[in-house]
Structure 1
């Protein structure tokens, strides 16, 4: 499995004080559940902190062949997002800023940046999108209040992904037109979906998968550091005191809102099989072949390809994991 959006896992945080160490630990922890490739996701922060995190990922890849094989690049989610409530999510409004291709170029000088999530709501957004794409970085649309016309302009400029479609938008939208329909209608956009049972209702997930069609959707965990930990109450830097339920729902204490995702991509695979009409072959595309294509990983069984293999049950349960040909205990 290939997860293109991981903020943290099993108590380790890519956006914490030790991102280099977190990358090593998360690589090992995810492999044990069948996620053999993953993309560290750095969120909205001052430029120097983003650069430091990108450099830390580059260092971790240099230190370990296993990390280098598992981590193709960094996904920077922000800081070029909507500042509006709802669309912004939990990103710090103090550090949200307008899209700036020059800043992205400075990140790229620090390490391998492969995806950046942006809100193309400013008049010059499309021009910046084109410049970012020219750097070899894929542009995802997310956390946005952009108009359908601005979405289309970003796509014409080279944007090719949607970040966790259905989340990172205003809590209420016009029936039509709106930013969700615009992205669902764009065949050039391959969309990520959080299938944790909490971010998208099953009928919404089903409808979005049908709308995008084969090869144009994939699952992400968008996992935070609390994913993989036991249920309970935790104090977090973002969100304050939160409660993690046995069902993997993460909420601020006393609220029914979400405080991030706390289930893995392996959980998402099982959920989409249990709650939608997706077949096992289709689900494997959603968690393996489609995200692998986006991450520019070669997955077909062929000489020279990574020997990352899973033995799955019909319900998506993982029975055996091999990474690089070696059995993961």
Structure 2
């Protein structure tokens, strides 16, 4: 089967030939083509989407399988389920559900390279903590991490923590020796604590610029330290609500495109119709037509509710980058942390998305999604 479209990086017309679920050839198209052609999107931070949530008491293997299908329909062919701060038994239940989903369904197994545990080793300070429950925050423990891995056959591949804990450097080193990625986030740590964590092996920043206090010292502070350390790559939520354009532009320029990647950080209400919803945490929330999810009657965000495809389009305007760079920040760059996904080369899995987009569009208009050589939807 052949798929055609323009390369977002160059504008050139391409044909991708797919055989047996893999890319067989990438070649110039023989004639004019419509739309754009890119690798399937890679999202390293997904809490939920389309009504499906990997957190909470009701998560099952079927929840995770349906979540993957919902994400694929909007262009995300690789995703990392993100389990947030909770009691250990609740974290373990979510991990077991993801492991069971991968065992039961090949498409889910192919779509999920590992699990991200965001917490519970985060800052207890208001602002930095975000919506993570204060009563469940605790210092990092290698013993607890091992119990997570035992519950899901070693599927945890990324952990986000705040490095202010005295145990953080040793914990980061232990995870690094096991091949686990460690990210810094939801923190009010000092610059010295940030640097010590990177020295110990931390490799990325989780949704940099968010999960931070509303007011920080002018300098020094933990944002400057993370932005200036080239050993850290940084994830950004480019939904137009979590970071204003000037901040996102400055941060991407500081890190450089090659060390910047986009995440949706989407919650279960992402992809839902605008309106008011009741949630287990926070009560009534309002989802606006432009994808802003906030606590009803307040200016405070209640999570992220746009797809990664939407964020790619937003990043063009907000971060002042070209479409090619915005696509790379949602494909090949995060794909480096997921086994080299997010590229179209002979021999790679046939994950791709065909879409329409023009300057000024607030979202990618997805035409066709192919996951593992199969058209989705």
- The CA distance in 1 between the partners of 2:348 and 2:238, in whole Å, is 28
> Paired residue for 2:216?
173
- Tell me, what secondary structure is at the counterpart of 1:260? strand
What is the CA deviation profile of residues 159-201 of structure 1, one whole-angstrom value per residue up to 9, with x for unaligned ones? Answer: 0010000000111000110010010011111110001110000
* 1:1-329 equivalent positions in 2, closer than 5 A: 1-16=41-56, 17-111=58-152, 112-315=155-358, 316-329=364-377
What is the CA deviation profile of residues 223-276 of structure 1, one whole-angstrom value per residue up to 9, with x for unaligned ones? Answer: 010000000000001111111110111111111010111111011011012333
- The CA distance in 2 between the partners of 1:164 and 1:80, in whole Å, is 16
- Structure 1 residues 229 and 31, CA, compared in 2 at 3 Å: closer, same or farther? same
| CA-CA distance at 1:102 after TM superposition | 1.9
* Coordinate RMSD, CA, aligned: 1.2
Unaligned runs of 5+ in 1: none
The one of the two structures with greater contact order (alpha-carbon pairs below 8 A, sep at least 6) is: 2
- Ranges of 4+ aligned residues in structure 1 off by more than 6 Å: none
| CA-CA distance at 1:61 after TM superposition | 0.2
| CA-CA distance at 1:299 after TM superposition | 4.0
Moved more, 65-74 or 276-285: 276-285
- The CA distance in 2 between the partners of 1:216 and 1:54, in whole Å, is 28
CA contact (8 A) 1:13 1:19 kept: no
CA contact (8 A) 2:190 2:222 kept: yes
- The CA distance in 2 between the partners of 1:231 and 1:51, in whole Å, is 32
- The CA distance in 1 between the partners of 2:120 and 2:222, in whole Å, is 19
- The CA distance in 1 between the partners of 2:220 and 2:81, in whole Å, is 33
CA contact (8 A) 2:42 2:341 kept: no
- Structure 1 residues 269 and 102, CA, compared in 2 at 3 Å: closer, same or farther? same
**TM-score, with length taken from structure 1:** 0.97
What is the CA deviation profile of residues 54-97 of structure 1, one whole-angstrom value per residue up to 9, with x for unaligned ones? Answer: 11101100100000000111100000000110000000111000
Unaligned runs of 5+ in 2: 1-40, 359-363
Larger proportion of strand: 2
Larger proportion of helix: 1
- The CA distance in 2 between the partners of 1:154 and 1:96, in whole Å, is 19
| CA-CA distance at 1:304 after TM superposition | 3.2
CA contact (8 A) 2:244 2:318 kept: no
- The CA distance in 2 between the partners of 1:93 and 1:172, in whole Å, is 20
**TM-score, with length taken from structure 2:** 0.85
Matched residue count: 329
